[in-house]
Structure 1
Amino acid sequence: MTRLRELIDPFLLLLLGTVALASLLPARGDGARIADGVADAGIVLLFFLHGAKLSRAAIWDGAKAWRLHLAVLATTFAVFPLLGLASQQIGAVPDGMRAGLLFLTLLPSTVQSSIAFTAIARGNVAAAVVSASFSNLLGIVLTPLLVALLMQRTGSGSLISLASVEGIVLQLLLPFLIGHLARPWIGGFVARHKAMIGRVDRGSILLVVYAAFSAAVVEGLWQTVSAGEMALLAGLCVALLAVVLCFTWGLGRMMGLARAERIVLVFCGSKKSLATGVPMAGLLFPASSVGAILLPVMLFHQIQLMACAVLARRYGAQVDKADTELDI
C-alpha cells in the first residue's frame, strides 16, 4: 500500500478531481469566459516562473555533453513524432483522442521530473538540467511547427492561425524570456520558495484543464468516449513509453555514452511535458476539441511518472551497490 502511494502522483488526483468538476459543473457563458481569462493569466505566470528558475550556471556546466543533448532532442522531436504518426493508423481510437496521441508525441520534455529522476538514479544532473530546459524552451517554437506540419497532413488539425502564433509569443515565449531576464532580482526568492512556486505551477495547469474540459463537456465529450476506448488509449500510452525507454537506453549504449549520461537520455528523452502541453493545446486547437486532445497527455503523464519512479530507484540502487562493493 505504501509503495502504491509512492507511485501515484497526488497531482493526478487533483487532475482527476478537476476533470470530474468540469464534467459535473462545466463553466458556461460568462463563467466560461471568466475561466478562460483566469486560465490565460495562470499560463503567463507559469512560464514567467519557468524562465526565472532556469539557471545560466547550470546551463554552462552541462552544455559540454553536446552529443547527449542532440540525442535527447532527436528522440523528443523526431523519434516520438514518428511513433505518433504510426499511432494514427489505429482506427479503434476516436478521432479526437487519436489527434491527442499525435499531439502528445510533439511536446517537449518535462523539466522538474526529468531532473529529479536523474538525481535519484545517480545520473548527470547538470546535463539533465540543460537537456530538459533546452527541450522545453525549444518546444515553444518546434511543437507548434510540428503541429502545423504533421497534424495538418494527417487531417488531425488545421494550420496554425496568426492568433495562435500571437498567443504562443505573448503567453508562453515572452513571459519565459522576461522571467529569465529577471532572474538576477527574483532568482533568490524563487529558490527559497520552491514549494510555493510548485503550487502555483500546478494550480495554473488545473485552471487550464478545468476551462478545457468544461468546453469539451458542453460539446458532449463523454457521450462520444467509451470505457473500452479509454482502456485502449491507456494501453497505447504504455506501449509508447515502453518503446521509447528501450530505444533511449539502447541508443545511449550504441553512442558509447557513460552510464550517468545514458540515464539522462532515458529520463529526458522519454518524457512529455504536461505543463507545456496543457496551455499549448488551448492555444492551438478549438475549445471544443481540447478536452479530448488532452486525455492522452494526462494519461501519459501519470504512466511516465510511475514507470520512471521505478526505474530511477532501480538505477540508483545499482550505483549504491557498486559503490559499496568498491568500499569493501
Structure 2
Amino acid sequence: MTLVTTPTGLTCQNDHVAWRNRLPIDGFILTLLATVLLATLLPARGGGVQVFDVLTTVAVGLLFFLYGARLSPQAAWAGARHWRLHTTILLATFALFPLLGLAARLLEPWLLTPALYQGVLFLCAVPSTVQSSIAFTSIAKGNVAAAVCGASFSNLAGVVITPLLVAALLHGDGQVRLSGGSAVTIALQLLAPFALGQLARPWIAGWLGRHKRPVALVDRGSILLVVYTAFSAGVVAGIWHEVAPGRLVAVAAVDLVLLGCVLGILVLASRMLRFSRADRTAAVFCGSKKSLASGLPMAAVLFSGHTVGLVVLPLMLFHQIQLMVCAALARFWGARAGEDDTGQRTRSLAAAGSTG
C-alpha cells in the first residue's frame, strides 16, 4: 500500500483508492441512498425535527472546525508560486461552472423543474474536492503537490465565495429562497468554526493526523445528518410528488454533460497555457470536481425548509458521476504516462548504446 501524506494533513492510500474505484458505485453513495430511504420511510416529525436540527447544527459547526484545523496555511503559501495553475482551477470552479449553470436555464422548465434547476446552480457554486482530486492526480501520475495546493485553495475560498455565489445566482428567485438571516448564520456556523480551527491547528493538528477514524466519523456523520434532516422535511412536505423518475434521469444527464464540458474546456485551456502534462492533470482533476462534503453542510445553512432535499439532489448525483468518470480518466492517463516513461527510457538506452 502506498501512503501519501499531504501538507494539508490529508492522506491518500493509492491501493485502497484503486480498489474502491473498481466498484460500480461509491460505497458512501450507497450509505447516502440508504439514508434517503430511511428518511422516506421514517421521516423526523414533531419534536424529532427540533432534535435533528440541533444535532445537524452542531455537526456542521464541528465539521468546519475540523476543516480549519486540517487545512495548513503554510501549504497555501508554499503553492503560491504556481499562481497560473491555481488561478485556472479557481476560475473553473467559481466562474466556468456558474456560467454553464446559467446556460442550463434553457432547460427549465421542460427538462428541469425550477427547484432542480436551482440545485444545478447550487452545485456549480460548490468548491472542489480535496482528497479525491489528490488521489486521481496521483493515479494519473500528475503533479500531486500542485493538486494539494489547488484543491486546498478552492476549499479555503469556497467558505466565503460559495455563499456569495449562491446569493448572487439565486437572488430574487421565488422557488428556492435563502433564509433572511443567512449572512449571520453563515458567519456563526461556518466561518467562525473554521477560523477557530485554524487558530487551534498548532495544538490539535497532530492529534487529528493520528486519529483519522473519529475525524472520518464526523465528516461522514455530519453529511448523513444533513441528508436525513433535509429529506425528512422534504418527505413531510411531499418532495417525492415533485420528482418523477424521469426527472432524476434528466438531472443525471445534465450533470454528465456539465462534467464533460468542464473537462473538455480545462484540457484545451491547460494546453493553450502550455502547462506541463503533470500540471494539466492537476488542473483538470481539481477544476472539474465538486465537494459533496462541503456542499451538503453549506446547503443546510443556506437553504430552509423542504427545498434543501431538492437542492442537493443534483450535487449528490454529480458526486457519483465524477467519481466514475474521473477514475476511468485517471487510470487511462496514468497508463499512458507509464508507457511514455517506458518509451523515453528505451530511447535513452538506445541513444547511449549508439554513442558507446
Greater displacement, 304-313 / 51-60: 51-60
Please report how far the alpha carbon of residue 58 of structure 1 lies from its aligned counterpart in structure 2 after TM superposition. Answer: 2.5
Aligned to 1:214: 232
Aligned to 2:119: 100
Task: Give the whole-Å Cα distance in 1 for the aligned partners of 2:263 and 2:105.
Answer: 21
**What do residues 243-288 of structure 1 show as CA deviations (whole Å, max 9, x unaligned)?**
1011111110011111111111111110111112111111222221
Note closer, same or farther for the CA distance 1:146–1:15 as it changes in structure 2 (3 Å cut). same
Q: Which has the larger radius of gyration?
A: 2
**What do residues 159-194 of structure 1 show as CA deviations (whole Å, max 9, x unaligned)?**
663x21122112111111211221211111111223
Task: Give the whole-Å Cα distance in 2 for the aligned partners of 1:132 and 1:258.
Answer: 18
Correspondences of 1:82-231 after superposition (within 5 Å): 82-90=99-107, 91=109, 92-152=111-171, 155-158=174-177, 161=180, 163-231=181-249
Task: Give the whole-Å Cα distance in 2 for the aligned partners of 1:4 and 1:189.
Answer: 29
Aligned to 1:52: 69
Q: 1:24 aligns with which of 41, 52, 57?
A: 41
Q: 1:251 aligns with which of 261, 269, 272?
A: 269
Please report how far the alpha carbon of residue 222 of structure 1 lies from its aligned counterpart in structure 2 after TM superposition. Answer: 0.6
Task: Give the whole-Å Cα distance in 1 for the aligned partners of 2:140 and 2:74.
Answer: 22
1:280 aligned onto 2:298? yes
**What do residues 205-236 of structure 1 show as CA deviations (whole Å, max 9, x unaligned)?**
01111001100111000111111111111111
Please report how far the alpha carbon of residue 116 of structure 1 lies from its aligned counterpart in structure 2 after TM superposition. Answer: 1.5
Task: Give the whole-Å Cα distance in 2 for the aligned partners of 1:212 and 1:42.
Answer: 14
Determine if contact 1:7/1:309 at 8 Å carries over to the other structure: no
Please report how far the alpha carbon of residue 110 of structure 1 lies from its aligned counterpart in structure 2 after TM superposition. Answer: 1.2
Ranges in structure 1 where 5+ consecutive residues have no aligned partner: none
**Residue identity opposite 1:218 in structure 2:** V
Aligned to 1:34: 51
Please report how far the alpha carbon of residue 96 of structure 1 lies from its aligned counterpart in structure 2 after TM superposition. Answer: 1.2
Identity %: 54
Determine if contact 1:52/1:183 at 8 Å carries over to the other structure: yes
Aligned to 2:6: none
Task: Give the whole-Å Cα distance in 2 for the aligned partners of 1:29 and 1:139.
Answer: 34
Please report how far the alpha carbon of residue 195 of structure 1 lies from its aligned counterpart in structure 2 after TM superposition. Answer: 3.8
Normalising by structure 1, we get a TM-score of 0.94
Ranges in structure 2 where 5+ consecutive residues have no aligned partner: 1-18, 347-356
Aligned to 2:16: none
Task: Give the whole-Å Cα distance in 1 for the aligned partners of 2:132 and 2:322.
Answer: 10
| Dislocated runs of 4+, deviation >3 Å | 2-5, 153-160
Aligned to 2:315: 297
SS at match of 2:44: coil
Task: Give the whole-Å Cα distance in 1 for the aligned partners of 2:97 and 2:244.
Answer: 26
Aligned to 2:344: 326
Greater displacement, 150-159 / 185-194: 150-159
**Residue identity opposite 2:165 in structure 1:** L
**Residue identity opposite 1:99 in structure 2:** Q
Note closer, same or farther for the CA distance 1:140–1:285 as it changes in structure 2 (3 Å cut). same
Normalising by structure 2, we get a TM-score of 0.87
Aligned length: 326
Note closer, same or farther for the CA distance 1:285–1:184 as it changes in structure 2 (3 Å cut). same
